[in-house]
Structure 1
Amino acid sequence: MQAAPPPVVTQELRIIDPEGHDRIVMSAAGGAPQIKMMRPDGHDGLAITLDGAGRASIRLANPLATGPKAALEVDDKGAHVKFDREGGASSYLFLNNEGASGVVLIDSQGVRRLNITLDAAGTVAITRFDAQGRALP
């Protein structure tokens, strides 16, 4: 049986396409590990990162400038899946560190319009908001 080759040790590895453009970048430079997959235009298409506290995120870019972007993240408050569109529209699903979960919908003007939450004790709350962000009865 052949011995395994020695490991490659570096702070950054770049994989390029035939034209010499970065397409995959794996890096630990700066202390925070990340893997990025680049679109042909050089912008990030996918980024997988760990922050200084070890919390992970995956960010998906949209090649359509006006299209939505997506993120799956763990942060200091909990975990969430978030969708954002330029101009303000957003929606997210979350589970916080205390065990509460929910869905939030934000309109194209950046105004919160709907919250659906389930607290750790099992109580459900649904709150609708008007176009100015005021809770409706």
Structure 2
Amino acid sequence: MDQTTSHGVDRAVRRHLLRRTAGLLLSVSALLVIASCASGGREADNPFRRGSVKNEIEIRVVNLNFSDATLWAHVRSARQRLGIVGGKRDAVFHVPWEFVDPLRIEIDLLAGDRCVTSSLTVAPGDVVELQIAANLRMTQGCG
């Protein structure tokens, strides 16, 4: 009689556990469905996607020299004119830039000296800051 009772209890316990498990699974499934609907079909974040990075670089120039300076970007074997920064003025230039490449900037003072900065590796989206010293030869990177 003890064995029958224990089997009867085991069956009752199993039924109870199955009902609870089924209810729990149903609740979890409902939460997953709600969570997937709430995401609104948003694309998963991809750290390797470069959509937010601009395909350009920004060059910020502070000219502490009294003379106007014409600036040129040297990239690979090309030389591209950036523009002119007035004496004792600031300017910002945007240059299309798609790859990681070395950049050198040529500074040509009006009726004065000229120098080319040392090479700096630049990637799309980077910001380069250049300060032209009052004495051009004191500008960092100019030789």
Query: With structure 2 as the length reference, what TM-score do the two structures score?
Result: 0.21
The structure that has the greater radius of gyration is 2
Query: With structure 1 as the length reference, what TM-score do the two structures score?
Result: 0.22
Q: Which has the higher contact order (CA 8 A, sep 6+)?
A: 2
More strand by share: 1
More helix by share: 2
